[in-house]
Copies of this chain bind each other. A is one copy, B any other.
């Protein structure tokens, strides 16, 4: 392929992993794939039924904001969900601060293009390691990334930015709870970022896609932090969420952008011109998924069982400590993470995501070296079996603290 802007961008982590694994011979065991990001739990059947019910509408476009930013009824439902979930008291925060999107990734990419304002200058501040979409969307929008490692304290090292750098920031991306480490941003850090945003005028883009998966309570998000810090209009604040993780709807990407009203207006223009239409069956199904919390509780019970089992299953062989949020284990492995992933795949058929493929080198160091990400997306028996294989590889004398199938 000729050298171009487009192929100078990072190849997605999953593609790079498959390339690495293609060098070892195919294991003669069943593959257990922990390297994925998307859940494998089933979507709620009432959501699927609603989608089916509206199939006959596909002949006719719903014009304007109904097609591109969501029907008023869907925006209303998302607004109510966001307001209730985040206990927003602001009276100026309404359904006009919300638009629907075709999933969280589309929303993040769109938001970054919009916030760059076509100027192709300034910084995008990113957690490191993180979902590579932030960096790639930033580069396509002409923004230069500043990486804040999360490996020292689980939290991005925002304090390292100089005043000169802060002055040139266009977008700062928060991911709470974070992929891969599951950590939520502390309230003091939220407050620091809101203060910086007010002082320097940059936007905070908060990716909260994992906040419906929790062992306990959902973590705070940007909307409530802005609301409780004298910013009821959500100025310079943009939140992304979706149904992929909340409702196991990875095959029907559906999400939203919420926050700053001027931003939402621009997002409407961008999405309409990009032809990012949302089919009616998708909108109707999404509405039901945001309205119902029972399926989210059920979903969390399934994850909770697996996260409770993992530390006992792994015992001292791998440090699979429980985390409060998300569906990933983020654990340190002996030696190099890529070597670990390749060996694990070849010997046991278990696929894990090496940290280095999620982290970016800065100063010649990849902060995520030695870590692997394990998505507990399979049923409990398969998750337990996969973890056991990894533990036995690390420690031939491994014994679990639990005997059950989970």
Evaluate whether A252 and B276 lie within 8 angstroms (CB atoms) in the complex, with A5-B118, A270-B6 already known. Answer: no
Check A2–B262 contact: CB distance below 8 A.
Answer: yes
A191 to B2 alpha-carbon distance, docked (Å):
26
CB-nearest residue of chain B to A274: B109
Residue contact B12 to A117, C-beta cutoff 8 Å? no
Q: For the complex, what is the distance from the CA of A93 to the CA of B265, rounded to whole Å?
A: 42
State A63–B269 Cα separation when bound (angstroms). Answer: 29
Chain copies in complex: 2
Q: Cβ of A161 < 8 Å from any Cβ of B?
A: no
**A58 in the interface, Cβ–Cβ < 8 Å?**
yes
Is residue A1 contacting chain B, with contact meaning CB distance below 8 A? yes
Query: Which of B56, B63, B244, B274 is within 8 Å of A48, CB to CB?
Result: B56
In the assembled complex, A249 has its CB within 8 A of some CB on chain B: yes
Contact with B along A5-19 (1 / 0, CB 8 A): 111010010110000
A residues whose Cβ falls under 8 Å from a Cβ of B = 1-2, 4-7, 9, 12, 14-15, 36, 38, 40, 42-43, 47-48, 51-52, 55-64, 102-110, 113-114, 117-120, 133, 136-137, 140, 142, 244, 248-253, 262, 265-266, 269-270, 272-277, 279-282, 285
| Given A59-B250, A60-B250, 13 additional A-B pairs, CB 8 A | A6-B269, A7-B265, A9-B269, A12-B272, A14-B63, A48-B56, A55-B281, A61-B244, A105-B275, A118-B140, A120-B120, A133-B273, A252-B279
